[in-house]
């Protein structure tokens, strides 16, 4: 279903909708409750309605199938790999906008203006407050050290979030090093990789492991859930770095579809999403970091501590993802 910002529900058609000057159609991998506050603010400011369809799987395939008949103007998704997949499928178009270029740093947008980052998140370590000392976790490379044998939990190594980290490891070292690292990390696992980042924190709370890999924003999600708050309060966030680098970061972003029937309105929405107002709303709603310089993270997120983001190019991370996946499968990381 497409949910209109005015709460009117419309069926998601496989053919192009009549182009109206006062609406934008969005295909979003992000849950409606995470993006609706943005669209409500945009509509209040411009009078342009936003229709959003939540598409958990098969977004690229859908856009390819719909072709120039697609009703979608914009796609919103997470992870540089998924943004790259949309671009590589040939279903997006470049957007030339001085506003976007001024608001979004070069490292958070495609060199060809095919996609633009909206928020960033760090891939960090959740560590048991009881069983892991301050300063005991320092680098991602150190996670392969035998001292962590039987103490690490993580979601599958073939998940996009872990593949992004693995691809960055290749960039900092090389594929052979990353294979050795993945083998060592696998040997240190307390249990089979499964579940999501929050379930790993639950395992720490339950005493099944001592540290886990996870994205920063899950801490905010857990603290907001009465059942999961206890899990969250059993751990602290640690910002590891690559040797000679910083903490691994990824992005959520937006791209305009090639078929976009409402291009002018869609560009207005993209530019609004990069504004101070929207960056603040988006970051606070999602417990992520704004990409626009000068816009502060929420008080909750700031309370997790500061870190130095890694400087590897996200497009290079996306380029190394297939090699990272190949290596994860070779070492049978999820087996």
What local confidence, expressed as pLDDT, does residue 21 receive? Answer: 53
pTM (two decimals): 0.87
Question: Torsion angle, CA of 29/31/32/33, rounded to 10 degrees?
Answer: -150
What local confidence, expressed as pLDDT, does residue 268 receive? Answer: 98
Cβ proximity of 125 and 212 under 8 Å: yes
Stretches where the chain sits below pLDDT 70 are 1-21
Average model confidence (pLDDT) across the chain: 92
Q: Return the SS3 of 51.
A: strand
What local confidence, expressed as pLDDT, does residue 56 receive? Answer: 84
Burial class (CB in 10 A: 0-12, 13-18, 19+), 315: middle
What local confidence, expressed as pLDDT, does residue 309 receive? Answer: 95
Domains of the chain: 2-120+250-296 (3.40.190.10), 121-248+307-330 (3.40.190.10)
């Amino acid at each position: 279903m497409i949910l209109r910002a005015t709460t009117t529900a419309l069926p998601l058609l496989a053919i192009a909708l009549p182009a109206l000057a006062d609406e934008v159609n969005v295909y979003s991998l992000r849950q409606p409750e995470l993006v609706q506050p943005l669209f409500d603010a945009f509509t209040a400011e411009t009078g342009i309605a936003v229709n959003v369809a939540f598409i958990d799987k098969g977004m690229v395939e859908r856009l390819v199938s719909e072709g120039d008949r697609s009703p979608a103007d914009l796609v919103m998704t997470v992870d540089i790999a998924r943004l790259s997949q949309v671009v590589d499928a040939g279903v997006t178009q470049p957007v030339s906008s001085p506003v976007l270029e001024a608001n979004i740093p070069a490292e958070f947008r495609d060199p060809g203006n095919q996609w633009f980052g909206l928020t960033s998140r760090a891939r960090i370590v959740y560590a048991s407050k009881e069983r892991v000392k301050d300063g005991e976790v320092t680098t991602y490379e150190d996670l392969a050290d035998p001292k962590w044998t039987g103490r690490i939990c993580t979601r599958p190594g073939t998940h996009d979030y872990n593949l992004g980290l693995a691809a960055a490891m290749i960039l900092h070292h090389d594929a052979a090093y990353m294979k050795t690292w993945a083998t060592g990390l696998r040997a240190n696992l307390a249990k089979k990789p499964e579940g999501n980042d929050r379930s790993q924190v639950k395992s720490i709370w339950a005493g099944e492991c001592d540290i886990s890999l996870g994205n920063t924003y899950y801490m905010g999600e857990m603290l907001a859930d009465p059942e999961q708050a206890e899990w969250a309060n059993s751990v602290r966030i640690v910002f590891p770095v690559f040797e000679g680098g910083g903490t691994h970061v990824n992005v959520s972003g937006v791209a305009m579809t090639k078929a976009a029937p409402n291009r002018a309105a869609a560009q207005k929405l993209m530019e609004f999403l990069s504004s101070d107002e929207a960056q603040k709303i988006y970051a606070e709603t999602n417990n992520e970091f704004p990409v626009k310089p000068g816009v502060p993270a929420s008080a909750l997120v700031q309370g997790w501590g500061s870190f130095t983001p890694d400087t590897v190019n996200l497009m290079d991370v996306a380029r190394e993802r297939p090699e990272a996946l190949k290596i994860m499968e070779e070492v049978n990381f999820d087996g």
